[in-house]
Each structure stands twice: as C-alpha cells, then as structure tokens.
Amino acid sequence: MDIQKINSFLTLARTASFSRAAEELYISQPALSKQIKALENIMQVPLFHRGKKQTSLTLQGEYFLPYAESIMASYYNSKELIRQIENLEKGRLTFGATNFNGIYLVPETLAEFKKRYKNIGIDLTINSSKNILHMLERQQLEFIILSDYIDIDPQKYISVNWLDDELHVIVGRNSPLFKKKSVSTDDLKNKLFITKDQHSSIYRFITGKLDFSFENMLFISSQEAIKYAVIHGLGFSIMSRRATRHEEKIGLLKSLPLKGITFQRGINIVYERNKYLTPATLAYFELLKEMRVR
C-alpha cells in the first residue's frame, strides 16, 4: 500500500467524482481508476460505490477513511520531522488552540517565535475543544492548547500545564456594579448573565462552581460578542482578565472578583504519548516555558 494510492483515495472521497479527483491529482481518469482498484484489491473490499453521476464511499470505505487520513498525516509529519532534524531554517509548526487561548494568549508567543525562527511556517487552527481534539487524534495537529477542565484520555495523551488563569465577573461602565471592588452572588442573581451556550465547556466550568442557577441568561457563541454585549449594558459575564485588558484600560469594562468563589483554571499543552515531536515544536515548548515566567 503506497502513499500515492492513499492520497488518491482521500481525494476521491472528498470530491466524490473521478473526473474532479483526477484533475486535482494531475493524472488521467483511467490512471486514477487503476490506483483505486489496486487499493481495493489490497484491502479485499470495495471502497466506493461507482454511480453514473456521483461516486460515494461504501460502508467499508467509511471505516477506512479515518485510517487513511491518519496514514497521510503520519507520512507528512515524518517528512517534516526529518527535514527539521537538519536545522530549524525550514519546516512548519502545526498546532491548535481553543478560542480564548488562540486569540488572547498564543499570538504574543508566535511573534517571539518568528523573531527567533524566521523561516519556520506556522499553521494555527482555532476551533472548539471537541474539534481540535478530533484533529489531534487524526494526527492533523502536532499538539493543542486548551483548558484543564476539558476531559482527555490520560492513557493516550500527555497534558502539561503552561500557565494558570483566573476568571472574574465583568461589567460595563454603565452598570451599578462598576464602582464596586468585588461582587457577591446576591449582586448577580437578578442580573442578566451573558455566556456561551449550555453545552460549552466554559459554561459547565462556571456553573459547576456555583451553588445556584441564574434565572436570567443570554447565550452568545462568540466571546468578543459577549464582551460588546456587556459594554453596551445588556448584563454581566464571567471571563478571564486576559481577554478584557484592553477594554479595562480604556474604561469600558471592569473585572471584579466574586466573593467566596474562585474560577481558577490551568492552560495546558496536550500531545499524543509516544509521538516524535518535531524540533520546531520542541523549540516552541521551550519558548512557552520562558514566557510563562515573564
């Protein structure tokens, strides 16, 4: 089973068309058909339904798909590792982060990394914890950065703390709470709580720390939109001060500790056990350690 056949299989699975797949691969349709047939002979099962208008995966093809993606990812990762062993003048840093980490924590580290390793390319995927974990599992990312309250399999992944982060109540300057130095749960119970939806990990983390339920809630999927909703006086939210530094500096928002409750979390680096990490990734890990101290 060679890489060319695997790549042809993945391209055909994505395009669902022999003609489009052949065009993308710069080969003829007969040559593509021959590669797919050879792969099916190796697997001893049909991988595609061949229709007149469309090509689709068989049940066996659906099951083979994630393994094929993993094979291709391992191939490219191994090439990248070998290329970087020589020096750090070439190569790519490929990783993922959740929304908060990718927007408010990672860019500063990447700016420093690019100063040191100008020729290393960077591919950063910002997505939900569920999606980047899925990409990590398929070896499409070398490591990910996420909060420590996200469940991971400790038998499969190594999780290393990078830094600690604390969430505070945030209010807009027109809020009656703006002049306070701290707030109590009684101050918040009748106010509108603006947060991500009930299925989000941050929502579960926050509400898991409380011994009561908010009666008045507004769900917004974007953290930036939540901040602007608070700025415009819709209600309050709970988020990291690292996400509100700019708005606090210019007086639009204020972060307030909640009496008797601490929303402390760790920000972790997660990668697969027994995985060979590229020199670029190891160099980035060292940089993260340095910047944690600052």
Residue found under tokens 């130095």:
181
- Give 37's pLDDT tier (boundaries 50, 70, 90): very high
Residue 145 has pLDDT above 80, yes or no: yes
Helices (H), 44-173: 59-86, 99-100, 106-116, 129-137
**pLDDT tens string 39-83:** 999 999 999 998 877 899 999 999 999 889 888 888 887 777 676
Q: Give every CB contact of residue 258 below 8 A, 6+ residues apart in sequence.
A: 168, 169, 182, 183, 184, 185, 188, 238
**Is it true that 3-81 and 87-162+266-293 share their CATH fold?**
no
pLDDT at 76: 80
Residue 105 has pLDDT above 60, yes or no: yes
Residue pair 81/108 in contact (Cβ under 8 Å)? The answer is no
**pLDDT tens string 267-285:** 999 999 888 788 889 999 9
**pLDDT tens string 206-234:** 999 988 888 899 999 999 999 999 999 99
Query: What CATH number should be reported for the domain whose range is 164-264?
Result: 3.40.190.10
pLDDT at 96: 97
* Nearest C-alpha neighbor of 270 from the set 125, 145, 149, 135: 145
- Give 194's pLDDT tier (boundaries 50, 70, 90): very high
For residue 244, what are its two tokens?
């509100």
pLDDT at 259: 94
Residue pair 269/136 in contact (Cβ under 8 Å)? The answer is no
CATH of 87-162+266-293, one of 3.30.70.580, 3.40.190.10, 3.30.1330.20, 3.40.47.10: 3.40.190.10
Average pLDDT over residues 112-129: 93
Rounded to two decimals, the pTM is 0.72
pLDDT at 74: 80
Residue pair 239/166 in contact (Cβ under 8 Å)? The answer is no
pLDDT at 252: 96
Query: For the chain, which residues make up each domain, given as ranges?
Result: 3-81, 87-162+266-293, 164-264
For residue 255, what are its two tokens?
């972060």
Burial of residue 192 (number of CB atoms within 10 Å: 0-12, 13-18, 19+): middle
Average pLDDT over residues 247-271: 96
Average pLDDT over residues 154-167: 94
Q: Which residues pair with 195 in a beta bridge?
A: 219
Query: What CATH number should be reported for the domain whose range is 3-81?
Result: 1.10.10.10
